[in-house]
Amino acid sequence: MTTRMGAPANPFCTRYHAPGSLAFVFEPARGAASAAECYARFRSAGFRGEIAGPHGTGKSTLLRALEAQLKAHEHPTVAVMLQSDRRRMPVGWDRCPAEAGAKSPGPRTILILDGAEQLSRIDRWRVWRRVRSLGWGLLAATHQSLGLPALYRTSVEPALARELVAAILAQNPNLPRLVDPSEAVTVLERSAGDLRETIFRLYDLYEARWRDTQVRASAAAQTRTLG
């Protein structure tokens, strides 16, 4: 069995800040003040819309919040996540969910497409056309606009980074407080506004400071022993 090096627990571990584990912080100037308002914009746009913003600015987290709204309004959903190593739609993505039925008179089925910018232009056109032919709605998250109605534009300002880091630390009040939320501002700047990269760097910072405390404690204990 391998012994873990570093802190026995790190508040910046992925499980504490994965999409859905933290509440999305809405800024009305970016499109909506709440998930309910964002859903209302989506509905008004004919159940077509996009969430756009740079990498690591909370798009996936916002998608999770909107997915909860869709389920609350009884929309069947089909969720697809694309990445740089997975740039094609999975086989069978366009099969109707079992609970929807092929000709259900209920709420519209919604395709939730995370990483929509990974599709080539022709593949994107095919997906858009297929969604329309099925009568589905389309909710896409993308790095740059794809021409869908804009629901929200994500970005991470220093104050927001500070607030989110404070929330992460508050989830683990019993762990040593080796990082202060104010440090998120400097790290965010070094990470070019990418909150995900900021948290990864804070993880490394926490580990380094934990090791430093252990070295100092060991040195102090040795000094006492020699004394």
Residue 128: which CATH number?
Answer: 3.40.50.300
- Indicate whether 131 and 196 sit together in one domain: no
- Indicate whether 119 and 166 sit together in one domain: no
Contacts of 12 (CB under 8 A, 6+ apart): 168, 179, 199, 200, 202, 203, 206
Q: How many domains does the chain have?
A: 2
Distance in angstroms (rounded) separating the CA atoms of residues 19 and 127: 25
Q: Which residues pair with 152 in a beta bridge?
A: 51
Distance in angstroms (rounded) separating the CA atoms of residues 184 and 164: 9
pLDDT by 10-residue block (mean), the chain, 227 residues? 62 78 85 95 97 89 94 95 92 76 71 96 96 96 94 91 90 91 95 90 94 85 71
Range of the domain at 140: 28-83+106-153
**pLDDT at res. 116:** 96
Asked whether residue 165 is assigned to any structural domain, the reply reads yes
Asked whether residue 187 is assigned to any structural domain, the reply reads yes
